[in-house]
Amino acid sequence: MVCLGCLTWAIAQQGRQLLELTPSGGDWWFLLAGVLFSSLAVAVNGVAWAMLLRWLRCPLPTAEAVAIFTQTNGLKYIPGGIWHLVGRIQLLQSKGYSWGQAILSVLLDPLLMVIAALLLLPLGGWQQGLGLVGPLAVLSLVPAWRDPLLKRLVRRVPVPQAKLMGATAGLQLLGPFPGGPLLGEMAFVLVRYVGFAFCAHGFLPPGVPPGPLIAAFALAWTAGLVVPGAPAGLGVFELVLVLRLGGLVQEESALLATALSYRVVSTMGDAMAAAAGAVLGKLRGKPPRLPGFLCFSSWQRRPPDQGSGSGPLDPGLD
């Protein structure tokens, strides 16, 4: 709410200047390209998730994983910012995988996304030590650091103790380092940035260095991902982006126009990806059923003999 309030105040202050920033005919094509690349980024993210599922030994066909990922991706716009993760857990359980495998897949996925984005920070230079955050964040994927972190995250999920024990026991069977999924998530963040770069081309003045621009995007996108409660990072991404680029671009209205246009472009890209995922699911003859977000309560109420699935990460304990 604080971020949205600050953003609203800035828009009110720069309202007249924003109205004067009308995209030219050529700029509209760049914005359209931004929509297409934002949609493609969601599909790339789905491929990276499929790679992660294989690493977790609960594989799904890549096309099916992409269809599930793109359709549940829209649930992130529901207040709370967790319902896309809930949907994937329920869908994986419906495929016969254990709760432990499902929860690890949705915990590791955003962790890998964050690290992939932070690895782009050094492109912006030293930044008073901020450029070191990315390489240091990779250490959290080393088993000695990763497993205690995941164990703490799993224990915060409100589910019966048996499921928690199964998930934490499954950590011992994880591979040494998820290099393939991390590369997949880096590809996703880079494609996502291309969609943003098209928006920046339409509003920012020429001469903005590409290194600081991509570093600012990576930091703003990471902040929008990790701040709890903000649906799809709404308000957080825009505020951090404007603050980080304020020293490079003096025209605050141009920064606001870039941030707001990217919000519209990325939302349209998410909707396009969800529609494409639905078509892909129908073509495969196995359209995933999207659960309602109120089904979260079924985690606690479901009898222990339902929805179970044995797997190498959580044998007998779902």
**pLDDT per residue over 203-249, tens digit each?**
999 889 999 999 999 999 999 999 877 777 888 999 999 999 998 99
Domain boundaries of the chain, sorted by first residue: 26-287
Two structure tokens written together for 180? 């393939």
Give the pLDDT of residue 288.
Answer: 58
Quick one: what percent of the chain has pLDDT higher than 90?
53
Give the pLDDT of residue 133.
Answer: 94
Neighbours of 235 (CB within 10 A): 22
Element (H, E) at 240: helix 236-245
Q: Which residue has the tokens 């207040």?
A: 79
* Residue scoring higher pLDDT (177 or 5): 177
pLDDT tens digits, 21-49: 777 778 899 999 999 999 999 999 999 99
Most confident of 181-195, 217-231, 254-268: 181-195
Q: Show Cβ contacts of residue 296 under 8 Å, excluding neighbours closer than 6 positions.
A: 83, 86
Rounded mean pLDDT of 86-113? 91
168 pLDDT band, cuts 50/70/90, is confident
* Residue 146: φ, ψ to 5°: -65, -50
Please list the residues that pair with 80 across neighbouring strands.
Answer: 229
